[in-house]
Amino acid sequence: MANDYGMIDVAEAERTPSASSGTDHVDLGSELGCTEMRPKVWDLSPGDAMSYHRQTEQEELYYVFSGPARIRIGDERMDVPEGAAIRIPPETPRQVFNDTDEEHRWLIIGAPPVENDGRDVEE
């Protein structure tokens, strides 16, 4: 339906800690009623890190709002400049982390919207 849309002010939205890593995020999927994707905004303070994981089914898009941010994909660790986007296929191990002195903000979108799709990767 053309008029079936939602909008929120991300700056004013409630942040909740991730069950696996404790990293604060805004669940845009829940807030906006998304049914075909799982978008979240993640705020990483210095020293924060998401779990090193892979997805079973979800392809994910990572976009850096503020950075440069840091990510680990497989065995490679890299800086990701502000405004950059990365696509990661389901089985590829990944981890967003902040080993800098600056705040990082990411938009991460997974599709299809599979609940509890992430799996920890053994180091």
- What secondary structure does DSSP assign to the chain, as a single string? -TT------GGGSPPEE-TTT--EEEEHHHHHT-SS-EEEEEEE-TT-B---EEESS-EEEEEEEESSEEEEETTEEEEE-TT-EEEE-TTS-EEEE--SSS-EEEEEEEES--TT-EEE---
- Mean pLDDT (the chain) is 91
Q: What is the CATH number of the domain that holds 74?
A: 2.60.120.10
Residues of the domain holding 28: 10-120
Whether 2 is covered by a domain: the verdict is no
Q: 36-52, pLDDT tens digit by residue?
A: 999 999 999 999 999 99
Does a structural domain hold residue 45?
A: yes
Residue 4 lies in a domain: no
Give per-residue pLDDT as tens, 69-92: 999 999 999 999 999 999 999 999
Provide the whole-model pTM: 0.89
Greater pLDDT, 21 or 25: 25
| Residue 1 falls inside a structural domain | no
Q: How many domains does the chain have?
A: 1
**Is 24 within a domain?**
yes
**Any domain includes 5:** no
